[in-house]
């Protein structure tokens, strides 16, 4: 399961991210509302933890824009305001739950689990690119019906490319969006992981899906793109 944390307090965001990752979740982090809105729209999450008071764009504005565009991802609002009127406003804007700061992480975790259970009856998202299938809930990958075993890093790279199918992704894009813990990673390491993926995804297939765009980066592309 992928969780998006939108929180401008960087220390708190780091603590929440680490705690959720220790529970097995994949976590993306944004530090202002504008970045959070972009990530919510372009890198779908299973749940969003959204701070209310943030620079650039506040959390309620982010939530309003998401709901107007039909985004139904469960949202847990975080705020230092504990007045009933503030809670009502947040819920009426489209939030699914509301947690007041400061909070105990175990309560946050329980509320996240509750949001994900509510979403459980929604059909799991399966990305299909030609005969390649990626189940973003179970992380199962197959091509032409044959199951492909990937490492966590290989899967993260494939999922990111799949969500951006048909688009050229630079090495810097890949490092910044899926390898947050290794921001100083040599971009050439990305070439290594792309080659690992090619050996598993394309090696025995007539049609190649992973393409190199010279001087720009990589692209996952099927016949329809």
Give the tens place of pLDDT for each residue, 13-38.
Answer: 999 999 998 888 889 999 999 999 99
Listed residues 121, 148, 167: the one ending a domain: 121
Range of the domain at 190: 126-220
> Are both 92 and 152 inside the same structural domain?
no
Residues 114 and 131 in one domain: no
Pair 165, 200 in one domain? yes
Helix, strand, coil share of the chain (percent; to 5): 45, 20, 35
Asked whether residue 225 is domain-assigned, the answer is: no
Q: What is the mean pLDDT of the chain?
A: 85
pLDDT-based confidence at residue 92 (cuts at 50, 70, 90): confident
Q: How many whole angstroms separate alpha carbon 222 and alpha carbon 115?
A: 34
pLDDT of residue 178: 66
Give the total number of structural domains in the chain: 2
Q: What percent of the chain has pLDDT over 70?
A: 88
6 and 116 within one domain: yes
Of residues 20, 195, 187, 10, the one with CA closest to residue 116: 20
CA dihedral (201, 203, 206, 209) positive or negative: positive
- 210 domain-assigned: yes
CA atoms within 13 A on the CB side of 146: 8
Q: What is the pLDDT of residues 129-182, one digit of tens each?
A: 999 999 877 788 999 999 999 988 888 889 888 888 888 888 887 877 766 555
Q: How far is CA 122 from CA 12, 81, 83, 126, 137, in A?
A: 30, 32, 33, 12, 11
pLDDT digits over 113-132, tens only? 888 877 654 444 688 899 99
Same domain, 8 and 117: yes
């Amino acid at each position: 399961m992928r969780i998006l944390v939108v929180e401008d307090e960087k220390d708190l965001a780091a603590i929440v991210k680490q705690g959720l990752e220790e529970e097995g979740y994949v976590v993306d982090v944004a530090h202002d509302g504008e970045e959070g809105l972009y990530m919510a729209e372009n890198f779908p999450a299973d749940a969003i933890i959204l701070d209310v008071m943030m620079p650039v764009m506040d959390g309620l504005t982010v939530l309003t824009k998401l709901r107007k565009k039909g985004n139904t991802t469960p949202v847990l609002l975080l705020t230092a305001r504990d007045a009933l009127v503030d809670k009502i406003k947040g819920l009426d804007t489209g939030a699914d739950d509301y947690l007041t700061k400061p909070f105990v992480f175990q309560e946050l975790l329980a509320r996240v689990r509750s949001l994900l259970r509510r979403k459980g009856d929604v059909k799991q998202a399966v990305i299909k690119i030609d005969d390649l299938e990626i189940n973003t809930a179970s992380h199962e990958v197959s091509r032409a019906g044959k199951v492909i075993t990937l490492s966590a890093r290989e899967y993260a790279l494939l999922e990111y490319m799949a969500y951006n199918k048909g688009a050229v992704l630079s090495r810097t894009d890949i490092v910044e969006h899926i390898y947050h813990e290794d921001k100083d990673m040599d971009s050439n390491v990305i070439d290594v992981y792309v080659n690992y993926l090619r050996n598993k995804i394309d090696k025995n297939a007539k049609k190649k899906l992973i393409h190199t765009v010279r001087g720009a980066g990589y692209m996952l592309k099927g016949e329809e793109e």
